A and B are shown apart, each in its own frame.
Chain A
Amino acid sequence: EIVMTQSPATLSVSPGERATLSCRASQSISNNLAWYQQKPGQAPRLLIYGASTRATGIPARFSGSGSGTEFTLTISSLQSEDFAVYYCQQYSNWPPMYSFGQGTKLEIK
């Protein structure tokens, strides 16, 4: 099983500043990584797939990078609506055995 580890667990950032979230895989997953945003009481929303491709309708301030085992989600110039929990998910296995990171809570500083 591929274990996904996100850091930090909680990140406090001021509006307008940049946030950098990390996700590490226990073995190489190439670029088979997605990022999701989840707000309280809502379902997760796809932000990024293929480690760096923004999903439809996702603002350009969201960007993803990395390959292999180390990945980063960067949110430039944080808006109030960006404060939420973020999850990474790998889809490298065949047959499928998807795993998610434990999440990073992005809170207002």
Chain B
Amino acid sequence: QVQLQESGPGLVKPSETLSLTCTVYNFSINSGHYWGWIRQPPGEGLEWIGSIYQSGTTYYNPSLKRRVTISVDTSKNQFSLKLSSVTAADTAFYFCARNFMFRGVVSWFDPWGQGTLVTVS
């Protein structure tokens, strides 16, 4: 079945750039769905960061847009997240997920990767 796996450093220094990659297994990233990043500070709720289509079209959360870049590498079946100028407030579990396209509507997230904790310190 479709599986997603996040990878990247677990510790980032303040003011630097957080970089994560999501590898998609058993499913082509060129399949007509979007692909998204969501984060969750420890013990808190979920926040959508942004989503990308196979063509490279992106949509970002306005609250993070100034600092976020999401890109896609279809040859590797991967998509990536960069978040610049990080602070302690960016410490969170970062999840990647398929952002399902249903009847032309970019909609829910399924499945999700297991998540990776990134600490800014």
Please determine whether A43 and B113 come into contact, CB atoms closer than 8 angstroms: yes
Given contacts A32-B107, A34-B107, contact A45 B59 (CB under 8 A): no
Write out, one digit per residue, whether chain A residues 23-67 have a CB within 8 A of any chain B CB (1) or not (0). Answer: 000000000101010000011111001100001000000000000
Q: Does A91 contact B (CB under 8 A)?
A: yes
For the complex, is B8 an interface residue (Cβ under 8 Å from A)?
Answer: no
Chain A neighbourhood of B105, CB < 8 A: 32, 91
Known: A96-B59, A97-B62. A44 touches B46 (CB 8 A): yes
Nearest neighbor of A1 in chain B, beta-carbon distance: B62
Q: Interface-forming stretch among A14-22, A74-82, A100-108?
A: A100-108
Question: Which residue from chain A places its CB closest to the CB of B51 in the assembled complex?
Answer: A96
CB distance from A100 to the nearest CB of B (A): 4
Contact status B108-A46, CB under 8 Å? yes
**Min CB gap A3→B, angstroms:** 12
Interface majority SS (helix, strand, loop, mixed), chain A: loop
Q: Are A91 and B45 in contact (CB under 8 A)?
A: no
Q: In the complex, what residues of A have CB within 8 A of residue B45's CB?
A: 87, 100-103
**Cβ of B113 and Cβ of A87 under 8 Å apart?**
no
Flag if B62 contacts A91 (CB, 8 Å). Answer: no
Residues of chain B with a CB closer than 8 A to A43's CB? 95, 97, 111-115
From residue A20, how far is it (CB to closest CB) to chain B in Å? 20
Chain A residues lying within 8 Å of B100, measured Cβ to Cβ, are: 49
A87 x B46 contact (CB < 8 A): yes
Q: Which of A42, A49, A95 meets B108, CB within 8 Å?
A: A49
B16 at the interface (CB under 8 A from A): no
* Cβ contacts under 8 Å, B110 to chain A: 46, 49, 55
Contacts of B97 in A (CB 8 A): 43
Q: Top 8 nearest A-B pairs by Cβ distance?
A: A43-B112, A46-B110, A34-B108, A98-B48, A100-B46, A91-B107, A96-B59, A49-B108
Can you give 5 contacting A-B residue pairs, CB < 8 Å?
Answer: A34-B108, A91-B106, A91-B107, A100-B47, A103-B45
